[in-house]
Structure 1
């Protein structure tokens, strides 16, 4: 019996479909939050909550793009590396005297172009997405290190309005941007022909092609969108840190993004996924990391905890797919 069914049996009430699907994930979030708040006085303070929200903002932006791509049966393991290259490009261009927002536009265009190249390799040359994007990730990680030459590059007070600014006197600009991105992708997934095409391609690519859906064009656009949002995440990183540093972004960030999307219930085989679930997955990973820090637990256990949660989510994801 599902958690939603148990709730209905006990209370006689039914949950909305979007909430019912993620009631288990919501319960885990609440339990972790309750446990941490009872054992740490810092957890529910405004500075800590703001810090957590800023930390998960970048992950949320990358995860939004990956959710849409995975619903179409794709995967991109280069998003973290695109973010790394983008944050390095912005820092180097600003250091070289370019206007800060012109540097941002260059980075966003570069990320979109890289996404298009990944999509072309996958669609035109029929290379498995996992292989193509993992190779791209390795190349881009090396490029990011070459750009920075092993040193941090400061941007001073440039992009401070994005990295340290606040709206309505309390909400960080980074968080507002992440919310807007997630809302836009959510609307695209649910209420646009492009989003419906992505679900159709992920459900049955051959049937989608026979029904007249432009599969190749849709995949190219999905990879390009993923690259654009990854580059935006890189811009957010350099704005928040005030500098570009070797090792920022890359595969660790990408694995966190993949974990959040899978934990949120997006199918590994395509055809199913929700942005609500992805956002909850992002929040869960951020909450786990913050709780371990506040409770002064060895950081090594953070990787163990994330891996365990991911394994459980993958099993649940697979079983749900079999039932469907």
Structure 2
């Protein structure tokens, strides 16, 4: 075998192979700083609390990663979470069984996602505009459902929200399952490859035989389903639905995590691995700010700043490609 032939058979090591190396280094540095700055950060209770908190964001971010890879966007997932928690809380508070509550809540969330998909697909309205309008509408609906008051669910869903398996929160296992399935879909299925193709160029994807309308509706429906699941997870953790549960702040955190992880805002590129790192980074930063007793206002500032920086970096990377 000649040297040239051997070179062709070896895998090429490109900068793309280390596309998340910088993000991983930043995360490690922040964890190291937190471990030195506060003794409680590396405690098992605190780390478990961080994992429990980021699990909800991770499920939303998984749906967003797949949707944004296909060139879509759903800013109403946080509002969908708010409605799901409100409806589920009312059903449980009025004595409805948990299985019926889960079925109704997830079905409602899927319908909301499909409505978004239909509006975006059949009217041509920009996804950002359509779903932002839906988000505002859903936030109002959530307040109507709970009548602007906190609705407690008592011990319902406590096993999911506060239980542990093998020492880890049950919510973490749900998030890992969702992220793992999303990664498999994106990498190994025709549906996942079609999502990349649609995000790269929707017209070319349509001409190549991909059923763009069907896939876009499925993508938005899946995003709705995962928002509903995230709403159930959040309700199980908080044991109540209150004004402000879910909503735009949760949505922006998920979007920031996905964009930080390298998913293109223009579509055609995205990885679940990057999204996981983005979710962990934002979760750790929020936790560190709390432990250092820094005002919660700075948490919102940090999320906005990180999202802006990530968006600019995303654009620069796209232009280089």
The residue that corresponds to 1:5 in the other structure is none
Q: Are 2:255 and 1:280 equivalent residues in the alignment?
A: no
1:263 to 253, 260, 263: 260
Contact 1:82/1:230, CA 8 A, preserved across alignment: yes
CA-to-aligned-CA distance 1:19-44 (integer Å, 9 cap, x gap): 61100000000010111101110010
What does residue range 1-324 of structure 1 map to in structure 2 within 5 Å?
Answer: 20-168=18-166, 170-324=167-321
Distance in 2 between the 1:138 and 1:297 partners?
30
Distance in 1 between the 2:172 and 2:180 partners?
12
Q: CA deviation at 1:217?
A: 0.4
Q: CA deviation at 1:298?
A: 2.2
Q: CA deviation at 1:287?
A: 0.6
Q: CA deviation at 1:17?
A: 7.5
Distance in 1 between the 2:13 and 2:241 partners?
45
Distance in 2 between the 1:19 and 1:58 partners?
29
CA-to-aligned-CA distance 1:122-178 (integer Å, 9 cap, x gap): 00111111111011111111100000001111111111111111112x111001100
Distance in 2 between the 1:42 and 1:236 partners?
26
Name the SS of the counterpart of 1:124 in structure 2.
helix
Distance in 2 between the 1:141 and 1:213 partners?
35
Distance in 2 between the 1:117 and 1:319 partners?
33
CA-to-aligned-CA distance 1:159-206 (integer Å, 9 cap, x gap): 1111111112x1110011001000010101111100000000000100
Count of equivalent residues = 310
Q: CA deviation at 1:308?
A: 2.0
The residue that corresponds to 1:11 in the other structure is none
Distance in 2 between the 1:95 and 1:34 partners?
43
Name the SS of the counterpart of 2:123 in structure 1.
coil
The residue that corresponds to 2:7 in the other structure is none
Distance in 2 between the 1:316 and 1:40 partners?
31
5+ residue gaps, structure 1: 1-13
TM-score by length of 2: 0.94
Over aligned residues, Cα RMSD in angstroms? 1.3
Distance in 2 between the 1:23 and 1:265 partners?
11
Name the SS of the counterpart of 2:264 in structure 1.
coil
Q: CA deviation at 1:304?
A: 2.2
Distance in 1 between the 2:254 and 2:215 partners?
22
CA-to-aligned-CA distance 1:244-267 (integer Å, 9 cap, x gap): 111100111111111111111100
Distance in 1 between the 2:14 and 2:47 partners?
28
Distance in 2 between the 1:279 and 1:213 partners?
29
Contact 1:36/1:295, CA 8 A, preserved across alignment: no
Name the SS of the counterpart of 1:150 in structure 2.
coil
Q: CA deviation at 1:299?
A: 2.0
